[in-house]
A and B are shown apart, each in its own frame.
Chain A
Amino acid sequence: MRSSTRQIDGVTVVDLSGRITLGEGSVILRDTVRDLLSKGNKKILLNLGEVNYIDSSGIGELVSAFTTVRNQGGDLKLLNLTKKVHDLLQITKLYTVFDVKDDEAGAVKSFH
């Protein structure tokens, strides 16, 4: 999995691509979020538009990222879910837990 970040109006957009699975993918996501929080970036928008696969470990990592950011007074939202990821979040009832967006500009505004 690959991860890159960019700043838009005080929101950190994290562009993820590849697979979020047990091992490397989950570790990259965890490290990315930890790094952002350590630098005081607490408004995080995870762009999953290029994430074509996620397993239960990856779901667990998304949940962990969400609760970690919330516990530090921040917010984490999801952007551009692929069908596979969307379906998995539906099945696991997490679709209603996460704030899921499909428009980047609107998603950035929603943090303010």
Chain B
Amino acid sequence: MSANRVSYTFDSTLETVNSAEEAASRIAAEAGFGDEEVTRIAMAVREAAVNAVLHGNAYDPRKKVTLAFERTPGDLVITIRDQGKGLDISKIPDPLAPDNLLKTSGRGIFIIRSFMDEVEIHPSQAGTEIKLIKHVHGSPAGGKEASQGQ
């Protein structure tokens, strides 16, 4: 493992969600992000961890969640992987649609996309990998969305 890459393996529990958030907060702060950005990065990681534990692995004790942080010259790249059935991106409703505003769930991916510069979602039969990217020195112009799928 290089000095710029740290990875963790977690059980599929609620504690994992908090651990992932805490790790993200610490590493984002070490990477030099300001308080507000640290909070946003940590919340995006928390939401991704919730998806992995609840919707991906469905709390299955035999399945793990892996979380990796990598510093590149320009980015903090965070990868969260579960061992579930694979997220069906097409079934994620738009939480801002009038009919969905009062739904009690379905905002996690939206929050992730709102708080990160780039989001890639790679579902497969072996699980879902979601890659979250935050530019260390601010977003490039128009660089908000580089997401696969919706």
Q: Please give the residue numbers on chain A whose beta carbons come within 8 Å of chain B beta carbons, in ascending order.
A: 21-23, 55-57, 59-61, 63-64, 66-67, 84, 88, 91-94, 97
A46 nearest CB across to chain B (Å)? 16
> Which residues of B are at the interface with A, using a C-beta cutoff of 8 A?
14, 17, 39, 43, 46-47, 50, 54, 95-96, 101-105, 107-108, 110-111, 114
* A55 / chain B contacts, CB cutoff of 8 Å: 43, 46-47, 50, 111
In the bound complex, residues from chain B placing their C-beta under 8 Å from that of A94 are 101
Complex Cα–Cα for A91 and B47 (A)? 15
CB-based contact A64/B104 at 8 Å:
yes
Number of A-B contacts (CB under 8 A): 46
Residue numbers in B under 8 Å from A66 (CB-CB): 102
Known contacts A55-B46, A57-B50; is-contact A93 B96 (Cβ 8 Å): yes
Question: B49: nearest residue on chain A (CB-CB)?
Answer: A22
A94 to B14, CA, bound (A): 26
Residues of A within 8 A of B105 (CB): 56-57, 60
A63 touching B104, Cβ below 8 Å? yes
How far apart are B65's CB and chain A's nearest CB, in angstroms?
A: 14
Chain A residues lying within 8 Å of B111, measured Cβ to Cβ, are 55-56, 88, 91-92
For A24, the closest partner residue in chain B by CB is: B14
**In chain A, what residue has the closest Cβ to B96?**
A93
